[in-house]
Amino acid sequence: MSTNRTADVCIIGGGIVGSSIAYHLTEAGCTDVLVIEREKAQGLGSTGKATGGVRAQFSTPINIEMSLYSIDFLSHFEEATGHTSGYKPAGYLFLATDERQLDYLKKSSELQLAHGVNVEIVSREEISRRVPQLRADDILGGSFCQTDGFVSPPDIMLGFMRRALERGASLWLGTEVIGIEVEGGRVAGVRTTSGRISTRTVVNASGAWAGEVARLAGVNIPVTPLRRQLVSTKSFADLPENIPMVIDMSNGFHFRPDFKAGRVPGVLMAWPDPDETPGFKTEFDQDFVPKIFERAVARVPVLARAEVEPLRSRAGLYEVTPDHHAIIGEAPEVRGLFLANGFSGHGVMHSPATGRIVSEMILDGEARLMDVSSLGAERFAEGRLIEETSVL
């Protein structure tokens, strides 16, 4: 490994977002791309801990547009990269237990339909038909979109990166960025534990650590790490394999099948604990298990018979912004520093769109795929936040 090299583009972070950006840059002909990953393997950060859900059921146009592009891309991922994305269009099913929630779903569905999302408002009877194991006496209705579903985040990350490497990109593993050099308001280089890189273009794709990386260049971005924990069960035959992601809007509990090679799936359960506090906490807390089972059994009584699969239960970090939207674009204070941060739990599902958008910004000077000016970092100082209310 060279101790002093050059690169047209240096990407900090080798997770799914960084890998997608490398793929799209090399696809467009920019092959002198260096990806720097501090871990000894890819996917040890948020990518490998993700739930693996993809959905277009959002409440803002920009998130809907990014989802529609990304889901379509992931449905044809093998044609584009030669690797599988694991896409299963099992759907997302939101459950409303009061009139306010149902009105919210109806209003959101109008926006989604206007953008071409195939979403439908469903009755309690339809919900019980789809997932008969649910306790449905308090459910008033819900929304369902069949093209929402599940993917395999590690496979997508590796598919993006392997194709980028085939086209000439480089990947440094086990390398930490310790400085970003700025001269005259522009990126001049990157200092790492493996040497210096002379470059005029740096992409911050470092997930929950994005704030710390940005500060190396003297840039402040409001990205906060927040732990999210997932509990997986052993193979569980009491729920059908084809159930959708089910979201209980009364408390945020949601679950989906957890597919295991050659075996009956288990159940993957998530719940945004309101008592969770910000911080780089990546250890799984065993006290979380009874908390989530209390909510799980209340909505799906058969889950009382499920057994926890300790090796697949895990904790990962959301990278949260004040308005739960990503920060995408060139840093206002430092030319050549591009931000792809703050996805607030949606980094996996929006990685295809993000990769193409950032590559267009770098190579063409603007995003051609869609207008993402609302996602610039300057929105926080200017007070024009775009609140996403559909956050899991």
- Per residue in 36-72, pLDDT (tens digit) is 999 999 999 999 999 999 999 999 999 999 999 999 9
Report the distance separating Cα 157 and Cα 352, nearest Å: 10
pTM recorded for the entire structure:
0.96
pLDDT over threshold 90, residue 140: yes
Q: Residue 385 has what pLDDT?
A: 87
Tell me what the mean pLDDT of segment 22-31 comes to.
Answer: 98
Provide the residue count of the chain. Answer: 392
CB 288 within 8 A of CB 282: no
Q: Which CATH architecture is the domain 4-50+154-222+322-382 placed in?
A: 3-Layer(bba) Sandwich (3.50)
Sign of torsion over alpha carbons 294, 94, 148, 341: negative
Q: Which CATH architecture is the domain 87-148+225-317 placed in?
A: 2-Layer Sandwich (3.30)
Report the distance separating Cα 31 and Cα 99, nearest Å: 53
Can you read off the two tokens belonging to residue 7? 């690169």
The DSSP code for 352 is: H
Report the distance separating Cα 1 and Cα 21, nearest Å: 22
Please report, for the chain, the start and end positions of each structural domain, with discontinuous segments joined by +.
4-50+154-222+322-382, 87-148+225-317
pLDDT over threshold 80, residue 104: yes
